[in-house]
């Protein structure tokens, strides 16, 4: 495996990490401090929701019988056929198949990354209040044209546009709880794709392994081809 050109495709967690609808937060506080005379530095991290920051949605998020974080094998977090498509967005809208029809994408892709440029607004209210989303019709299109697709990721806060919440619920169900003859497509939300290029060699998604996980914070690594 080539490891000469590795990048992060995820945002670091910080106290200004945005949340969908502006309802949740990340708190990082000190438990002990060498500067205050303690033996070591240690911290307290509080996430008021596990679906905050760069994170993955797995089927159990919307399906009581769906796979949880611990149900995935390690190899299922490795993607060796990856496509990156640019769909510029500067406001709320639903991305659908028409946005991908002219893109040159290998039919054997395992991971599709959608770069909109919306992370440029990440520290503004607009990021979570006027975000793009994915249309409910998109998953069936993806399954038809890309039968090996296992995951979709993007650089905006949620699959659900805050302006189109009813459609967002349907989209989550179509991705994560499809008909019995269809496989779920997991979702990575709030990615950083600014440093991604069109020649991605592989991507590794590293979730926090947690009991009964319906989703998890993730660190995402990518490597570019020479």
For the chain, domain boundaries: 6-224
Where on the phi/psi map is residue 29: left (φ > 0), alpha (ψ -120 to 50), or beta?
beta
Q: Looking at residue 225, what is its pLDDT? A: 86
User: pTM of the entire structure?
Assistant: 0.96
Distance between CA 39 and CA 209 in Å, rounded? 29
Q: What integer pLDDT is reported at residue 76 of this predicted model?
A: 98
Contact 168, 159 (CB under 8 A): yes
- pLDDT of 43-100, one tens digit each? 999 999 999 999 999 999 999 999 999 999 999 999 999 999 999 999 999 999 999 9
Q: Please give the chain's pLDDT, 226 residues, in tens.
A: 667 789 999 999 999 999 999 999 999 999 999 999 999 999 999 999 999 999 999 999 999 999 999 999 999 999 999 999 999 999 999 999 999 999 989 999 999 999 999 999 999 999 999 999 999 999 999 999 999 999 999 999 999 999 999 999 999 999 999 988 899 999 999 999 998 988 999 999 999 999 999 999 999 999 988 7
Instruction: Specify the pLDDT at position 124.
Output: 96
What pLDDT sits at residue 180? Answer: 86
Q: Which residues pair with 114 in a beta bridge?
A: 85, 154
Residue 145 CB coordination number (10 Å): 14
Q: How far apart are CA 48 and CA 40, in angstroms?
A: 26
3-state secondary structure 126-175: HHHHCCCEECCCHHHHHHHHCCCCCEEEECCCCCCCCCCHHHHHHHHHHH
Assign 205 to helix, strand or coil.
strand
> Rounded to 5 degrees, what angle do the CA atoms 118, 19, 79 make?
60
The secondary element (H helix, E strand) that includes residue 125 is: helix 125-129
Q: What is the CATH number of domain 6-224?
A: 3.50.30.50
């Amino acid at each position: 495996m080539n490891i000469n050109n590795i990048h992060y495709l995820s945002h670091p967690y910080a106290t200004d990490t945005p949340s969908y609808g502006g309802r949740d937060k990340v708190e990082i506080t000190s438990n002990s401090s060498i500067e205050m005379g303690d033996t070591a530095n240690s911290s307290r991290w509080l996430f008021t929701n596990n679906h905050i920051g760069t994170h993955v949605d797995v089927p159990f998020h919307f399906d009581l019988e769906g796979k949880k974080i611990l149900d995935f094998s390690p190899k299922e977090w490795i993607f060796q056929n990856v496509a990156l498509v640019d769909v510029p967005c500067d406001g709320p809208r639903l991305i659908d198949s028409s946005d991908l029809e002219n893109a040159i994408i290998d039919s054997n892709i395992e991971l599709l990354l959608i770069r909109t440029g919306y992370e440029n607004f990440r520290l503004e209210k607009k990021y979570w209040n006027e975000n793009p989303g994915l249309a409910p019709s998109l998953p069936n299109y993806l399954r038809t044209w890309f039968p090996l697709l296992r995951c979709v990721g993007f650089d905006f806060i949620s699959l659900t546009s805050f302006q189109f919440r009813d459609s967002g619920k349907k989209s989550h169900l179509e991705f994560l709880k499809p008909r019995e003859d269809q496989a779920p497509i997991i979702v990575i939300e709030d990615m950083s794709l600014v440093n991604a290029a069109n020649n991605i060699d592989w991507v590794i998604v590293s979730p926090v392994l947690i009991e009964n996980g319906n989703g998890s914070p993730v660190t995402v690594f990518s490597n570019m081809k020479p």
